């Protein structure tokens, strides 16, 4: 056998649950080495799990790291991954943990993953601020991704309309995708009307404390309606669009959001200036460094 790092190779001492005459079944091989060597625990296919013990720290590939300071649990710390579970309508499922975790990805990108959730009326400037922020981050060498409300309805959510239940499902799906981006270490910028507080709060609950940054575009309805770049307010006023937020469907403003971008009479800040305010928050909270 080949020595590793100048240490003696491991010596096989026992085998359990294996049949040398056929394919391995569930079981494991325990190997030990003379003083200073490594201990390897290998379970056969069907329950593959490789462990390496060095000093007092144990590393499990495709398993949890046995280190209380490790944070590579993909936002699912505290769960029992050894048992099958039921989530919603999905039964007999088991979370598969990877040895490369969120902290590893953040260290690679030199930033912290989070979700910036920009909410407000149609034509309030959400998409403009989102793209301006993404451009600034790009110039700084930081990785971000914009989940735009209209864009996601071209693909992921093309099967949803604008009834209350469809709006809720639209936000739920975007929230789950945004969580994955944040877990990947990416700064995810979600730009959606998201009119209902309960739906935004449900998305906030998906992420660790502090990682959901709600940004409210506080722009009066009359200003948004005067802008109306898509002509949607005009169609809503004519009764050609039903359930339009701000006209015949309510918008529930955030009560305790992290950032408010307020319109000021006589000309407010530009999208870039508003994006700079969000950027300052990210810098202050340490999201632009690992």
Summarize pLDDT for 164-175 with one digit per residue, the tens.
899 999 999 999
User: Whole-structure pTM over 0.75, yes or no?
Assistant: no
Per-residue model confidence as pLDDT tens digits over 143-184: 999 999 999 999 999 999 999 899 999 999 999 999 999 999
Question: Does residue 214 belong to any structural domain of this protein?
Answer: yes
Per-residue model confidence as pLDDT tens digits over 219-258: 999 999 999 999 999 999 999 999 999 999 999 999 999 9
Residues known to be catalytic = 194
Shared-domain flag, residues 75 and 207: no
Shared-domain flag, residues 132 and 238: yes
Question: Does residue 2 belong to any structural domain of this protein?
Answer: no
- For the chain, the domain total comes to 2
Shared-domain flag, residues 74 and 152: no
Shared-domain flag, residues 216 and 118: yes
Shared-domain flag, residues 184 and 78: no
Shared-domain flag, residues 159 and 18: no
Question: Does residue 1 belong to any structural domain of this protein?
Answer: no
Shared-domain flag, residues 115 and 222: yes
Shared-domain flag, residues 76 and 117: no
Assign 103 to helix, strand or coil.
Answer: helix
Residue 75 confidence class, pLDDT cut points 50, 70, 90: low
Shared-domain flag, residues 52 and 160: no
Give the Cα-Cα-Cα angle 35, 37, 43 (nearest 5 degrees): 125
CA distances from 190 to 118, 197, 218 (A): 6, 15, 16
Share above pLDDT 90 across residues of the chain, in percent, rounded to a whole number: 68
User: Domain boundary residue among 80, 99, 118?
Assistant: 99
Shared-domain flag, residues 22 and 62: yes
For residue 51, the 8-state DSSP code is E
50 and 42 in contact (C-beta within 8 Å)? yes
Structure tokens at 280: 């300052």
Which residue range is the domain that position 193 belongs to?
104-285
Question: Does residue 6 belong to any structural domain of this protein?
Answer: no
202 and 129 in contact (C-beta within 8 Å)? no
* Calpha distance 120→201 (Å, rounded): 15
* Calpha distance 286→269 (Å, rounded): 25
Q: Which of 270, 175, 258 is nearest to 216 (CA)?
A: 258
Question: Does residue 237 belong to any structural domain of this protein?
Answer: yes
Shared-domain flag, residues 187 and 203: yes
User: Domain boundary residue among 75, 99, 123?
Assistant: 99
Q: What is the mean pLDDT of the chain?
A: 82
Question: Does residue 215 belong to any structural domain of this protein?
Answer: yes
Shared-domain flag, residues 91 and 147: no
CATH label of the domain that carries residue 275: 3.40.50.300
As a whole number, mean pLDDT of residues 29-36 equals: 45
Question: Does residue 118 belong to any structural domain of this protein?
Answer: yes
Question: Does residue 4 belong to any structural domain of this protein?
Answer: no
């Amino acid at each position: 056998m080949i020595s590793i790092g100048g240490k003696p190779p491991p010596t096989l001492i026992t085998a359990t649950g294996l049949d040398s005459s056929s394919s391995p079944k569930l079981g494991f091989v325990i190997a030990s080495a003379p003083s200073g060597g490594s201990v390897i625990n290998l379970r056969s296919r069907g329950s593959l799990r490789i462990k390496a013990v060095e000093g007092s720290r144990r590393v499990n590939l495709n398993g949890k790291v046995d280190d209380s300071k490790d944070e590579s649990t993909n936002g699912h710390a505290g769960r029992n991954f050894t048992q099958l579970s039921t989530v919603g309508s999905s039964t007999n499922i088991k979370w598969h943990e990877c040895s490369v975790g969120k902290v590893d990805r953040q260290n690679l990108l030199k930033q912290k993953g989070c979700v910036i959730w920009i909410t407000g009326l149609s034509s309030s400037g959400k998409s403009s601020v989102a793209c301006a922020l993404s451009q600034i981050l790009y110039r700084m060498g930081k990785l971000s991704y914009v989940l735009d409300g209209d864009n996601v309805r071209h693909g992921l959510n093309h099967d949803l309309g604008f009834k209350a239940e469809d709006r809720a499902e639209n936000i739920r799906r975007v929230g789950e995708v945004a969580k994955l981006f944040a877990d990947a270490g990416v700064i995810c910028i979600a730009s959606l009307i998201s009119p209902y507080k309960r739906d935004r709060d449900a998305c906030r609950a998906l992420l660790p404390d502090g990682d959901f940054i709600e940004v409210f575009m506080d722009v009066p309805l009359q200003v948004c309606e005067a802008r109306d770049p898509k002509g949607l307010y005009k169609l809503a006023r004519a009764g050609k669009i039903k359930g339009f937020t701000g006209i015949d469907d309510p918008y529930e403003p955030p009560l305790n959001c992290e950032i408010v971008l307020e319109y000021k009479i006589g000309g407010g800040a530009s999208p870039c200036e508003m994006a700079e305010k969000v950027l300052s928050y990210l810098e202050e909270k340490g999201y632009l460094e690992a």
